Amino acid sequence: MQAAASVSVILMGSVTQPGLAQVQKQTIKAPAGDAVAAGQQDLPTAPTPKQTEPLYMRDTPNDYTQPRHQSLLHPLNAYKPEDFPLPRLSNTPRLGDLLRDGTLYLSLSDAVTLSLENNFDIAIARINLDIADTDVLRTRAGGTFRGVSTGLVTGTLGGTTTTITGGGGPGGTTSASGGSGTGSSGLVLSENGNGPAPELLDPALTGTVGYESSKTVQSTTFITGTSTLNQNTSTYNVGYQQGFQTGTLLNVTFNNSRVTTNSERSSYSPLLQTNFRAQATQHLLQGFGTWINGRFMIQAKNNRRITDSAFRQQIIYTVTQVESIYWALVSAYEDVQAKERALDQSTKLTADNRRQLEIGTLAPLDVVNSDSAVATDKQALIASKSNLQYQQLLMKQAIARNLDDKIIAAAPVIPTDRVGLDRLAEEDMTVEDLVQQAYVNNPQIEQAVLTMKNNEITIRALKNGLLPTVDAVAFYASSGLGGSQSALLNCGTTTGPFVACPPGTVPNSNYGGVFQNTFNNSSPDYGASVNINIPLRNRIAQADQARSQMEYRQTQMRLQQLYTQIRIQVINGQYALTNDRAQVVAAQSTRDFNAQSLDAEQKKYKLGASTTANVLQQERNLAAAENNLISATAAYARDRSNLRQILSNTLDEYGIDLVDTAKGEVNKNPSIPGLTAPKPPAAPKPISVTPDTAAPGVPATTAPAPR
């Protein structure tokens, strides 16, 4: 035994295990062999991503990282089920406050605020914060973490956003399910969470209370002195088991029995017997140390940070989506107004033509052409109104939680904000500064870095899993025996007649004496051993350890891919704003020129110098120009919010508080810069010899909201 213990000490000395201080600091070194590839030494180092703060945001008052309180007055609290409260299914009062005369007048700030309070995507993602807390509680007890879904919830209809999506599988690959993968039952599992299983840190108390009555026919009377053995056995056993973060398992048992018998050979009836045993098992190689047994706590806390970051990403995504829906609603609303103006113009022209036809100054064909234009404009207006109703419905489902309210469901939505063309600060920044800002703020990079830390923990754990299992076992036991002298105790010979033993033949003792003898070291039993289990081929552990390295490399490449994708999106987003503004200014100028042309053509027509066809052509040109202006303005507005999403500064720019959003309570409306009030279309300017060179950045004129 001493030789075996010496061998285990030598083997244990070759394994270095970090201390508890390293667990608390959560400093994890890169796995061995992670050398820098040739040609990569001169690459710039990406900045450290900004952590989502504050940590442990919650949507309910309950802290699910802490167990329920137990006390002498309430000892059963730990065994009662927890009922998670049903989230609110009604709309917040803010939505009803925006109704005036059955119409919902909605600013962009109101739309964002209502989405933070009512949007189902955010409400679903909000619960993940509490789910991540339950993993922290599990790992504190020595259990494994179950993981949290941190993907974007995209159930809201409408809107377009620009974001980077990655798979939920190992290394950012796509998760396979339902038979689409190559794993067992179509599921692909990760090595994350594998390795030596830690001991359960929550103590367990076991107990057995039993009674048994038996009547056994004996083949000979030599052993028991009777042909039928009657026994009544009462059992009272208790046990205690607890694991420790060092890789130690403690088992303590205390067994008691009381036996009555009709055997003539039994000295006691009832017979009182107690047994005590305390055994400690310590892992010496695989599973040794506080780090290997406490790693799940670190990973669960990392997962909690990933969940916080994913919640921030969800808020940015949903706010950007709501902005896109809002600008689509603005476009649909302005398109209806443009179609109404076009119909008014064609209707007025038709009325004028019919009057001229009556007095005989106009050919019937001109009336037919104008009537055809009216029919076309009516059809276009009907289609535009249908699109407006659909966009209003999309907006309401994005900002309301319950559309069963008939007033809300039937209320038309009137957008009260328009986008301005003022230059953003990001447009004047260098590309490299914007890219660095995106690297720091982007939650996906933060999540990727935290995932790499978890992968590094898994790699170290699976390296430990390659080691043989060597356990040191030590125990101490003792027992006690006593009772009352049996009245059937035979002091005669085994073949002679029954001779009752006189009282005092054997010493009598009660349970107190038996209990005392158990713990006075009068009958000790102790020992120690070393158990060794060496897998001769160790193929499973080798495969798991190799796969953990592969998944880690996938995560590294996914992070580098994120850097590349974000850089491209930042550059494209900055260019898009400049191009969009130029298109809006050009579309505005084209619309003004077409308005001037129509005004001039109408004046010529009144003087008899033009035809109905020419006037209708100018009206069609103006309608097309207004459509182009509406489309260009909407594209600019969407690209502006998309750039903020890529830079992940939406919450800072709008003043959105993550803590309030996690609770579903918005105490301060977001302040969204770069908005203007609706303006009526400018009247056609007189045609001038000098061209009007409007500087880029002049706000586009749009139609007003009805009062």
Q: Is the pLDDT of residue 642 over 80?
A: yes
**Nearest residue to 675 via CA among 628, 629, 707, 633:** 633
Strand, coil or helix: 493: coil
Distances (CA, A) of 388 to 38, 99, 414, 634: 58, 18, 10, 14
Q: Poorest-confidence range of 7-21, 327-341, 407-421, 649-663?
A: 7-21
Q: Which two tokens stand for residue 614?
A: 């020419």
Cα(25)–Cα(28) distance, integer angstroms? 9
Mean pLDDT for the stretch of residues 68-73? 76
Higher pLDDT, 704 or 618: 618
Higher pLDDT, 51 or 238: 238
Q: Is the pLDDT of residue 43 over 70?
A: no
| CATH topology classification for 49-69+114-196+291-461+538-707 | Outer membrane efflux proteins (OEP) (1.20.1600)
Mean pLDDT for the stretch of residues 45-70? 82
Predicted confidence at residue 164, as pLDDT, reads 56
Total count of residues recorded for the chain: 707
Cα(691)–Cα(687) distance, integer angstroms? 9
Predicted confidence at residue 692, as pLDDT, reads 57
Distances (CA, A) of 227 to 224, 249, 264, 493, 604: 8, 47, 11, 17, 135
Q: Is the pLDDT of residue 196 over 90?
A: yes
Going by the DSSP 8-state scheme, the letter that residue 674 receives in this structure is S
Q: Is the pLDDT of residue 60 over 50?
A: yes
Predicted confidence at residue 187, as pLDDT, reads 59
Residue 39 pLDDT grade (very low, low, confident, very high; cuts 50, 70, 90):
very low
The position carrying tokens 């006690």 is: 480
Q: Poorest-confidence range of 168-172, 218-222, 653-657?
A: 168-172
Q: Poorest-confidence range of 10-14, 226-230, 364-368, 581-585?
A: 10-14
pLDDT digits (tens, 9 = 90+) for 575-609: 999 999 999 999 999 999 999 999 888 888 888 88
Residue 366 pLDDT grade (very low, low, confident, very high; cuts 50, 70, 90):
confident
- Name the region of 269 (left: φ>0; alpha: ψ -120 to 50; beta: rest): beta
Mean pLDDT for the stretch of residues 512-520? 91
Predicted confidence at residue 182, as pLDDT, reads 43
Predicted confidence at residue 487, as pLDDT, reads 80
Residue 364 pLDDT grade (very low, low, confident, very high; cuts 50, 70, 90):
confident
Could you write out the three-class secondary structure of 604-665? Answer: HHHCCCCCHHHHHHHHHHHHHHHHHHHHHHHHHHHHHHHHHHHHCCHHHHHCCCHHHHHHCC
Mean pLDDT for the stretch of residues 631-653? 94
Cα(62)–Cα(82) distance, integer angstroms? 11
Residue 358 pLDDT grade (very low, low, confident, very high; cuts 50, 70, 90):
confident
Q: Is the pLDDT of residue 456 over 50?
A: yes
Mean pLDDT for the stretch of residues 483-492? 82
Half-sphere exposure (CA, 13 Å, Cβ side) for 23? 18
Residue 697 pLDDT grade (very low, low, confident, very high; cuts 50, 70, 90):
very low
**Nearest residue to 61 via CA among 119, 130, 122:** 130
Predicted confidence at residue 354, as pLDDT, reads 83
CA 191 to chain centre: 20
For the stretch 345-379, what's the b/e string if a residue is b when 16 or more beta carbons lie within 10 angstroms of its beta carbon?
A: bbbebbebbeeeeeeeebeeebbebbbebbebbee
Residue 276, number of CB atoms within 10 A of its CB: 18
Mean pLDDT for the stretch of residues 545-573? 94
Cα(432)–Cα(574) distance, integer angstroms? 12
pLDDT digits (tens, 9 = 90+) for 300-345: 999 999 999 999 999 999 999 999 999 999 999 999 999 999 999 9
Strand, coil or helix: 593: helix
**Nearest residue to 333 via CA among 105, 59, 659:** 105
pTM over 0.85? The answer is no
The position carrying tokens 């190992």 is: 170
Q: Is the pLDDT of residue 443 over 60?
A: yes
Cα(166)–Cα(89) distance, integer angstroms? 31
> Percent of the chain, pLDDT > 90?
59
Strand, coil or helix: 433: helix
Half-sphere exposure (CA, 13 Å, Cβ side) for 89? 3
Q: Is the pLDDT of residue 552 over 50?
A: yes
Q: Is the pLDDT of residue 85 over 80?
A: yes
Q: Is the pLDDT of residue 678 over 80?
A: yes
Provide the mean pLDDT of the chain.
85
Half-sphere exposure (CA, 13 Å, Cβ side) for 34? 12
> Percent of the chain, pLDDT > 70?
86
Roughly how many angstroms between the first and final C-alpha of the chain, as a whole number? 95
Name the residue ranges covered by the structural domains of the chain. Answer: 49-69+114-196+291-461+538-707, 204-244+248-286+469-533
Cα(648)–Cα(437) distance, integer angstroms? 9
Predicted confidence at residue 163, as pLDDT, reads 54
Predicted confidence at residue 162, as pLDDT, reads 56
The position carrying tokens 């119409």 is: 103
> Is the separation of the CB atoms in 310 and 131 below 8 Å?
no
Cα(205)–Cα(299) distance, integer angstroms? 29
Cα(133)–Cα(297) distance, integer angstroms? 11
Predicted confidence at residue 259, as pLDDT, reads 94
